[in-house]
Amino acid sequence: MQRSADGWGSGLLGVVIFSGSLPATRVAVGGFSPLFLTSARAVIAAALGAALLWGLRQARPARSDLVSLAIVAFGVVLGFPLLTALALQHVTSAHSIVFIGLLPLATAVFGVLRGGERPRPAFWLFSLLGSGAVAGFALVQSGAGSLAGDLLMLAAILICGLGYAEGAALSRRLGGWQVISWALVLALPAMLVLALATRPAGVAEVGGPAWLGLAYVSVFSMLVGFVFWYRGLARGGIAGVGQLQLLQPFLGLALAGLLLGEPVAPSMIAVTGLVVLCVAGAKRFA
């Protein structure tokens, strides 16, 4: 029980950190191209992760772990950051954040497929209800959307769910921060080449907010958040703790409204209450 409580606490902290990712990305793409932003954040986080691995003298992962690390790198280092950055050229961060509510369901499905978990039937009922509530909220916000942006966000959710589940299963053997650090190091050569090829011509012309956005997604979204998130998924269960992501859209919407001045629908409070009940129900039956 203590292990489960620790997992849920770590997972919640990870969700709080991730909730600032899309608003920060929205700000950053105002000064950087999506390709440069995706690669630069990975390079910066990889440098920090490599320093941690070297400084704490971590053993190299087994050869059998390389495929799983490649899946993690593809899902959360390349796929999700790139697709969301592309999507945010078409939609507002307030609109894109609601799609994150579908991520717990995707994570739970991949947790069954890749992590060997078997939640009880009632869990799926609460998970579907929570995801449905968020999807309904997305329809209310549909005026700020576009077909291209929505499809990019849906693709990002599927890829990220796979990366979350794969990383969580691997974290049981390697540890949470080790998994994301090794995945970043594995992706570093390709990300470094991409960053150099897509770097902005006039660095001095990039505004301060874009640099701050890049700093946040590099340090917190790409590394620190995963330290807590993978620990939470590994200790509390992929399917169960993954439901905490249902809260992320509303934390992110609040940030988008406060920091970016983007409109937030009044119905957010009611939907948030329903989502909290769904998370509680999913936790009980996971």
Q: What is the DSSP letter of 91?
A: S
Q: Report the distance separating Cα 112 and Cα 108, nearest Å.
A: 6
Q: What is the pLDDT of residue 182?
A: 96
User: Rounded to the nearest 5 degrees, what angle is found at the Cα of 220, between the Cα atoms of 260 and 259?
Assistant: 10
Domain boundaries, the chain: 1-284
Low-confidence ranges of the chain (pLDDT < 50): none
Q: Please name the residues in contact with 35: beta carbons below 8 A apart, sequence gap of 6 or more.
A: 82, 194, 198
What is the rounded (10 degree) CA torsion for 58, 230, 214, 131? 170
The CA-atom distances, in angstroms, between 108 and each of 56, 88, 103, 230 are: 32, 25, 8, 14
Q: Report the distance separating Cα 86 and Cα 149, nearest Å.
A: 8
Q: Report the distance separating Cα 133 and Cα 249, nearest Å.
A: 11
Measured N-to-C along each axis, helices 147-174 and 176-198 cross at an angle, to the nearest 10 degrees, of: 140
Q: What is the pLDDT of residue 68?
A: 93
Q: Please name the residues in contact with 93: beta carbons below 8 A apart, sequence gap of 6 or more.
A: 22, 23, 25, 26, 252, 256, 260, 262
User: Rounded to the nearest 5 degrees, what angle is found at the Cα of 277, between the Cα atoms of 13 and 271?
Assistant: 90
Cut 0.85: pTM above it: no
| Nearest by Cα to 248 from 217, 279, 227 | 279
Q: What is the pLDDT of residue 266?
A: 67
Q: Report the distance separating Cα 279 and Cα 27, nearest Å.
A: 30
- List pLDDT tens digits, range 148-206: 888 898 899 999 999 988 988 898 888 888 999 999 999 999 999 999 999 888 777 78
| Nearest by Cα to 250 from 230, 231, 270 | 270
Q: Report the distance separating Cα 36 and Cα 241, nearest Å.
A: 32
Residue 179, both tokens: 């998994």
